[in-house]
Structure 1
């Protein structure tokens, strides 16, 4: 059974037959030499995504691109967050240096270090 591929129309026909009660999972498996787990997976996909689940645009070979794009987006957001943090820390350091200089100047007699 491994290595076979099924077109979207076939998958829809099978899932609809099972979900409508026209046939049981076991009947479909015997008629088409399919595994029960395969039918259950198709049913799950159909329930989650509808007919779109079986179109070629949503097959697994495209999923990694989507996952990769999500990772890139997340990494870009992280970089932006770190850049904001670095800028904030640079500003804080600058302010602290100025305050330190003012304190040193006012602490010394006659404003001389």
Structure 2
């Protein structure tokens, strides 16, 4: 009979906590892995992913905006236009309502 192995799932926050615990240096990687019951190979995989993600994030120049920033700016511009148009129409309806009340 074969057993189906059940793997534990770690959240990204838990993975970061584990990797940082190993990077702090106050205890060894082996001790951290033993505490969280993970293999050292898994720890080093997570560490490499974390460092690679950090390198990517830090490699982006401050003045260069991410691609979605342009899309967000365009959406905000469109929202502002629609809000102005709504304001104008609301004002026109108020004036029309006042004019109709004067006919009574």
- Regarding TM over 0.5, the answer is no
Bigger proportion of residues as helix:
1
Name the larger-Rg structure.
1
TM-score by length of 1: 0.40
Which structure carries more relative contact order (alpha carbon 8 Å, separation 6+)? 1
TM-score by length of 2: 0.44
